[in-house]
Structures are given as structure tokens and as C-alpha cells.
């Protein structure tokens, strides 16, 4: 059994991030790699957290918002009050995401129809040019 930890480089390759990013996330307390001497070793838990971090970023959440949410996914040594607060935060983020999805659906439709309109314009312009030849 390979102990299941990754070096910083392996971690970077796996997630397509830079070492700086991983150290930065550790400094911000989003990741907690173990140490072998002074070298970092990233555990399965770190990988799970990083995955959630990158996902959160794609939805436009700040690292701080993400950090608050991460505790929801690693429930173990939490106080109940802490968990309660985390749940509240999660509820907020959830409704953020649901609103965002609705708006996104809307925006996608808008963009599609606007594109169709422009494509039509271009097509007509081309036909006009052909007819003029």
C-alpha cells in the first residue's frame, strides 16, 4: 500500500494547478497536507477538498466562502454549534447556486436566440451579395 499520499508535484499534475496555488491554499487553511520532514504530503482528504475548491471557484465563490463550506464536507471534529453555522452557510450557498442556475438557463436562451439572429443577418447579407453578382 503506497500510503496514498501525493507530493506537491503529483498533486499539481493531477489537478493542473501550480505549487504556489497549493501552498497558498494551505496558508489560507483550505488544505492541510501532512509533513514528511519539511515536505508536504497531500492526503486523500486534501484531494477531496481541492476538488471542491476548484469547483467552487468555477461558480464564482471566493476562497473564503469556499473555506466556510468545506467544513460541511469534513465533519468529524466539529462542534455542534459550528456545524449548525456551517449548515446555515450551506443553505445560503445552495440558494445562491439555484438562483445562478435559473439565471444561467435564462442567459443561455438569450444568447442562443441572439446568436441565431446574428447568424441570420449574416446569411441574408451573403445571399444579398450573391444576388448582386
Partner DNA sequence: AGAGAAGATGACGTTTACGTAAAGAAGACG
Partner DNA sequence: CGTCTTCTTTACGTAAACGTCATCTTCTCT
Binding site for DNA (CB under 7 A): 7-10, 18-21, 23-24, 37-40, 57, 62-64
Main-chain dihedrals φ then ψ at residue 43, nearest 5 degrees: -90, 175
Q: Which partner, DNA, a copy of itself, none, binds residue 55 by CB below 5 to 8 Å per kind?
A: a copy of itself
Q: Report in angstroms how near the CB of residue 30 gets to a copy of itself at its nearest.
A: 17
Which of 34, 100, 124, 127 is the binder for a copy of itself (CB under 8 A)? 100
CB distance 126 to 102 below 8 Å: no
Q: Report in angstroms how near the CB of residue 107 gets to a copy of itself at its nearest.
A: 6
C-alpha separations of 53 from 18, 22, 40, 83 in Å: 14, 11, 19, 19
Per-residue DSSP letter, 39: E
- Regarding 62 and contact with a copy of itself (CB under 8 A), the answer is no
CB distance 31 to 44 below 8 Å: no
Q: Tell me how far apart the alpha carbons of residues 97 and 58 are, in angstroms, rounded to a whole number.
A: 12
Strand blocks (E) in the chain: 34-36, 39-41
Of 13 and 120, the one with the shorter C-beta distance to DNA is: 13
Of 18 and 113, the one with the shorter C-beta distance to DNA is: 18
* 84 grid coordinates: 449548525
Which range, of 4-12, 18-26, 38-46, 99-107, touches a copy of itself by CB under 8 A? 99-107
- Regarding 54 and contact with a copy of itself (CB under 8 A), the answer is no
Amino acid at each position: 500500500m503506497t500510503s496514498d499520499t501525493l507530493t506537491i508535484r503529483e498533486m499539481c499534475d493531477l489537478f493542473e494547478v501550480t505549487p504556489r496555488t497549493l501552498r497558498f491554499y494551505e496558508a489560507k487553511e483550505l488544505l492541510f497536507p501532512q509533513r514528511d520532514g519539511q515536505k508536504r504530503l497531500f492526503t486523500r482528504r486534501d484531494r477531496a477538498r481541492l476538488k471542491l475548491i476548484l469547483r467552487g471557484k468555477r461558480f464564482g465563490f471566493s476562497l473564503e466562502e469556499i473555506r466556510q463550506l468545506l467544513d460541511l464536507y469534513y465533519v468529524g471534529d466539529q462542534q455542534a454549534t459550528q456545524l449548525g453555522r456551517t449548515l446555515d452557510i450551506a443553505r445560503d450557498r445552495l440558494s445562491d447556486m439555484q438562483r445562478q442556475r435559473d439565471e444561467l438557463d435564462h442567459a443561455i436562451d438569450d444568447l442562443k436566440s441572439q446568436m441565431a439572429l446574428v447568424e441570420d443577418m449574416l446569411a441574408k447579407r451573403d445571399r444579398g451579395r450573391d444576388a448582386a453578382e
